[in-house]
Each structure stands twice: as C-alpha cells, then as structure tokens.
Amino acid sequence: MPKNLTQKILDAHIQSGDKIPSSPVDVKIDQTLTQDATGTMAYIQLEAMGVDQVKTELSVSYVDHNTLQSGFMNADDHAYLQSVAAKHGVLFSRPGNGICHQVHLERFAKPGKTLIGSDSHTPTAGALASIAMGAGGLDVAKAMAGLPYTIPYPKVVEVRLEGKLPHGVSSKDIILELLKRRSVKGGVGKIFEYTGEGLKDLSVYQRATITNMGAELGATTSIFPSDERTLEFLTKQNRAQDWKELKADPDAAYDELEVIDLSTLTPAAACPNSPDAVKPIDELKGQKVDQVAIGSCTNSGFEDMMKAAAILKGKTIAPNVSLVVSPGSRQVLIKLMENGALQTFVKAGARILECTCGPCIGMGQSPKSEGVSLRTFNRNFYGRSGTNSAGVYLVSPEVAAASAIAGVFADPRELDYQDSDFEQIDYVDDSMILYPFENPEEVEIIRGPNIKPLPLNDKLPDSFDKKVVIKLGDNITTDHIAPAGAEVLPYRSNIEKLSTFVFRNNKEGFDKVCKENNGGIIVAGENYGQGSSREHAALAPMYLGIKAVIAKSFARIHLANLINFGILPLVFANPADYDTIDEMDELVFDHLDELSADQPLIVHNKTKSLDYALTPQFGAQDIPVLKAGGTLNYIRSMQD
C-alpha cells in the first residue's frame, strides 16, 4: 500500500493503538524540547516522577520567553532550568541564544524523527520533515521518561502547492490563505502534509513559517517532505549527515485535499483578534499604523530578516511608527551583523531586541491605547500584546517593513527589492548551548523562592454538587484562561499566585468566586482551549477547584492537559443544552465511580430541574488517571 509521508513516519513510531482516525495511538518520541515558561513545570514533574537521566535521543531546554528579569523570579527559573538540565541529561540553550523553535530548526530537528515540545509551535520542525507536536509539560516530562505520547490517530490533509509566489507575496500569505479557508478550528485532529511543484521554490525557513502557524488551524501538526532544499539547509548548518530523502509514495492516499495556486495569492493580514480573520492588504491599504514588530518564531529566520532589510535599505521609518526587530537566533543575529543588514535596520530607525519571544508573548513593547500594531507573529488574541484596546494584525515581514516606512498599511508588491535567492544561513554557533554534566550526581538543583512545590489534585469523588462559575462563548484561548504578559509570566512556577490571574479579562475576581463556592464547573462553546500548550490553563483552574469543563468542543492539547490534571472534559450531546445553563446554576454529578468512556454522563441541573447528557472526551485508558485526580497521582499510585 503506498503511504503518504505522515503515515511513513508516524507508523514507524506507533507502539500501540488502531490506525483509525481519532482512535488513540501511542507514539514513540525521539526528541523533546521545552521552553522556560512551561519548562519549569515540566522539569518539576520530571523530578516528581523520579527520572534520573532522560531516555530520549535528544532533549533540549530553551530559555526564550521570560527574559525580562524584572525581579528575581525569571532568573530563579533560569537557574533551576540550567541545573536540572545538567543533572538529567538535557541540553540547555542559554537565554539570548534564540527562540526554541528557530534554534531547534537550525541545530537539532531531523527528517523522519518525532518531536514533542511544551509549546504549541513545536510543529515548526515539520519544515525539516519531523513529526513535531505541541504538548503539555507533563506529557513532555513523560516522553523524557521514555513513555510514548498518545494522540488521536490523525486524518491527513494534502495541501498541494502549485505555481510560484509572485513578487511581494510570502509564505506567510500561504498559511494566512489556509487559515482563511479553514478557520482556527479547521485543523483539529488533522496533519497538513505539503506536496506539489510549488515546494521547490520554498526554502526551509519559508516552510517553517507555514508549519509554525499551522498550529493556529488547531492542527496536530504540519509537515514538508525532505528534499533538495532540506539538504541545502542542513549542509549549510554542517548537518548534511542528518539528511535523508523522505516523501510520500506516488499514488499515496490522503483524507482530504486542498489545492493552493501560489501565483494567485496576494499579501494579506489577519485582523484583530483572531489569526483566521484574514483580509487582503488591498482592503486595509492606507490605514494608519502605530507599531511594527518583526520577529517571533514565525518569521524571524535569516531570510525573513533579509527581506525586511532589503525593503528598509536606505529608508527611514515614518514618524508615527515604532519599529522593533528581534532575530530568531544568535546565529541569525551574528549573520546580520556580518553582512550589514543589522546596520540597515538600525539606520532605518529600528529598535533591536534580544533573540527571544519578546512582544509576541506580551513581554514588553505593548502598543499604545487603541494602537494599530502590525506584527509578523502568529497570534493576535485579545489582550496578548498587553494593550487590550490595541488592534494587532498578523502580516509577512515584507508587509511589515513596507508599512513601517509608509506609516500606513502598504503593499510590498509595489516596491522594488530582492525577494528571493537569498543564501541559506551558513553560520553555526553552539557556544551558548550547554551539554549535560558528566557526573550528574554532583549537580545540585538550584531552587530559588519562585520555584514552588507542584500542587496536586484530590481523587475524583464519586459524586459532587458544583456551581457553574463561568459561562463562556466559542474559541476561548488559553490566553483567556491563563493570561500571558510581563506581569503574569514570572509566576509560571508559582501556581497559587498564577491562579489569581485566571480569566482576568473575562471575569474579574474569578479566583475569588471559585474559592467562595469551593471550586466549580466551567461551561464553554466550541474549540475551548485553543492556542498555547500551557498546562497552566488546566493546572491553575485545578488549583481553584474546577472539577469539570462542559463545552461544545475542545482543542487537542488543552483537552490532554485537562485529563492530565484530573479535570473531566465533557461535551454536550445536545448542543442546544448549552443555552439552558446559566452562571451559578448548580450541577449534580453522580455515579462517577462508574465513569465510562462510551456512555454519556447524565448530569442534573438542580437550579433549572433539567438533565443533560454529556459525551465524555476521554478514552477508557484515561479513566484511572481521572479517578486518581490526574497523571502524576496516577503514576505515583502505580509506584506505591
């Protein structure tokens, strides 16, 4: 049977389960990555599991999110991460070395390997033909302990690229087109596999923009074949030995087909506040712009920077615009220093930031009130920039640079600049990557006061009565649940403090409501928990006593995180029941000792005297975990 590329790699790694779409399969994981904002928790959990040395082929711990260091908290996290990596066999990429996905792409990702990372943009490595998936920190810790990662067996969508991108149109516009067609929930349970003659003109960095932002489709991951372009990239990175050709068999079958004729695409922007609110630049042209930010793991590669520099060369930004530039890795920054592009940026008036996530995660550079900010990033969720009233538009580096000069939305097709045939980055520098200690027993773990013990859940009671403490609409993101930003992020290893910020943009004082009511139930619409992989969006609600989330549907990673922390994920069997529930209704959960994955759970609304049939969103294998109050409790109970 001819196989597509996804099947080839995935099937070689599946340890158990049926290869039927949406049925759970256990996948062997070759590589893991963590970043600091989720990594501290992942390693605290790894320690709690009693793992001595990681069992993967390669595990890397990156520091790229929390690098502002106002106060001791971030630095405490960094010191902890560095020591825990040295002790447990993990490579450590020091703060400033680059954004995890960019550095992993340049230095470590390999064709044919599986990778999970405690960050939802881990699929970036799909540009090098890895099956790379975002996961909660606990699942990454389990993979480091040598356990497989469980996913619903995906459907595979063939995205056939035809033709060639016109001048001024970029790979960002390809993924924006797909988001426009499919929406932020259109990829749930699917892997997007790219094929077609259009591939040959897309370099690895351009492919990485697409696989990175494929996360915004809700997709399990995205993948490109390993071809001549892959070899070119790996050779320049002194990694030709990591290359092997990998592609779908001729006549391989796919579950769905999407054809994109690249020659018909135009520059586009995702408008506030969703990555799928896509409009052509033509419709926005001439509107005033206040801020432009070029960087983030989506568009901070060497070529992205070179295209922006080509447009900015010899120009000065408009007086009404603030331009910030953050290259994705030190390698890229050094290369830009060497070839003069950095000078171009500075001369044009750009403010240069360190090689980290920075403004993408609200770590500085918040726009002004009502400001219009054009960013080459992947997410423009409400409040994420740090200014709730600002409008964030997601665009290509070309649109960003052209608009920075014009002071209004501008179309790069109208400008004359070099937009292709850039050399691939040939600069290699691993000096800020630390290797694990040879004598791990001598390493002492550094635990500053910001590293708090991990809160654990109670066992699931056989029955309980709880109030609906919040009722939400569709597409609630993990940025709503556990917000990011400079004020909150330092507390990622301090759940008690973090829990005071939960839903702060939806319901002020949510934590107090939970405390007064001894926990409660969350009710939501479609695609609950989209966006980031942060397990804090399950962990902090668990800490506040949330026992179940009843929604119309869930995003994949968040669903797994809820189960990991012992929160029941349930879906309305009859979606119209959603309309009959109100905040503060009291729900009665009974017979939970007989919890089943195949039978609906009948829950009684005491306030309205109604019964609801709720469909479990977990499998039979998750039931002991849920009953134990989460994965860690379960693992511990197995060890007793």
Binding site for ligand MIC (CB under 6 A): 37-38, 65, 119-121, 134, 361, 379, 484, 531-534
Which window, 73-81, 86-94, 355-363, 600-608, contacts ligand SF4 (CB under 6 A)?
A: 355-363
Q: Specify the residue, 156 or 488, whose C-beta has the smaller distance to ligand MIC.
A: 488
Amino acid at 493: S
Query: Encoding tokens for residue 378?
Result: 């992947």
Q: Is 631 left (phi over 0), alpha (psi -120 to 50) or beta?
A: alpha
Helix (H, G, I), strand (E, B), or coil: what is residue 614?
A: strand
Q: How far is residue 210's CA from residue 298's CA, in Å, rounded to a whole number?
A: 8
By C-beta, is 121 or 172 nearer to ligand MIC? 121
Q: Which one of ligand SF4, ligand MIC, none is in contact with 211 (Cβ closer than 5 to 8 A by kind)?
A: none
99 binds, among ligand SF4, ligand MIC, none (CB under 5 to 8 A by kind): ligand SF4
Q: Which one, of 394, 419, 363, 364, lies nearest residue 279 by Cα?
A: 394
Q: Name the binder of 273 from ligand SF4, ligand MIC, none, CB < 5-8 A by kind.
A: none
- Nearest distance from residue 84's CB to ligand SF4, in Å? 20
Task: From the list ligand MIC, ligand SF4, none, pick the one residue 296 interacts with, judged by a Cβ distance below 5 to 8 Å according to partner type.
Answer: ligand SF4
Encoded tokens for 435: 């290797």
Q: Considering only residues 378, 533, 561, 633, which one is a binding residue for ligand SF4 as defined by CB under 6 A? A: 378
From the list ligand SF4, ligand MIC, none, partner contacted by residue 237 (C-beta under 5 to 8 A by kind): none
**Least distance to ligand MIC, CB of residue 381, Å:** 8
- The answer to whether residue 268 forms part of the interface with ligand SF4 (CB under 6 A) is no
Q: Distance between CA atoms of 86 and 89, rounded to whole angstroms? A: 6
| Among 99, 176, 542, 555, contact with ligand SF4 (rule: CB under 6 A) | 99
Q: How far is the CB of 533 from ligand MIC (least distance, A)?
A: 4
Cβ proximity to ligand SF4, 265 vs 293, nearer residue: 293
Q: Which does 375 bind (CB under 5 to 8 A by kind): ligand SF4, ligand MIC, none?
A: none
Identity of the residue numbered 1: M
Instruction: Quote the least distance from Cβ 536 to ligand MIC, whole Å.
Output: 7
CA separation for the pair 134, 124 (Å, rounded)? 10
Task: Give one word for 39, left, alpha or beta, with left for phi > 0 and alpha for psi -120 to 50.
Answer: alpha
Q: Which is nearer to ligand MIC, 239 or 379 (CB)?
A: 379
Q: Measured from the CB atom, is 233 or 393 closer to ligand MIC?
A: 393
Nearer to ligand MIC, 324 or 406 (CB): 324
- The nearer residue to ligand SF4, 6 or 209, going by C-beta atoms, is 209
Residue 121 contacts ligand SF4 per CB under 6 A: yes
Which among 424, 33, 114 has a CA at the least distance from the CA of 239?
A: 424
Choose which of 131, 219, 361, 513 interacts with ligand SF4 (CB under 6 A): 361
**Quick one: how many helices (H) and strands (E) in the chain?**
19, 27
Please tell me whether the peptide bond between 273 and the residue prior to it is cis, using omega within 30 degrees of 0.
yes
Q: Closest distance between ligand SF4 and the C-beta of residue 52, in Å?
A: 29
User: Judged by CB under 6 A, which of 357, 468, 469, 603 binds ligand SF4?
Assistant: 357
Assess 297 for contact with ligand SF4 (CB under 6 A): yes
Q: Which of 97, 220, 296, 617 binds ligand SF4 (CB under 6 A)?
A: 296
Indicate the helix (H) or strand (E) that contains 454. none
d(CA 244, CA 570): 43
What percent helix, strand, coil does the chain show, rounded to 5?
A: 35, 20, 45
DSSP 504-561: TTTSTTHHHHHHHTTSEEEE--TTBTBS---THHHHHHHHTTEEEEEES-B-HHHHHH
Residue nearer to ligand MIC on the CB measure, 65 or 236: 65
Decide whether 360 or 425 has the Cβ nearer to ligand SF4.
360
The continuous run of DSSP H or E covering 353 comes out as none
Shortest distance (Å) from residue 482 CB to ligand MIC: 7
**How near is the Cβ of 63 to ligand MIC at its closest, in Å?**
12
If the CB atoms of residues 302 and 578 are measured against ligand SF4, the closer one turns out to be 302
Residue closer to ligand MIC, measured from CB, 58 or 484: 484
Please say whether the beta carbons of 523 and 493 come within 8 A.
Answer: no
Which partner from the list ligand SF4, ligand MIC, none does 533 bind, CB cut-off 5 to 8 Å by kind? Answer: ligand MIC
**Contact at 8 Å (CB) between 628 and 592?**
no
Burial string for 78-94 (b: 16+ CB within 10 Å, else e) reads bbbbbbbbbbbbbbbbb
The residues that touch ligand SF4, with contacts defined as CB under 6 A, are 65, 99, 119, 121, 296-297, 357, 360-361, 378
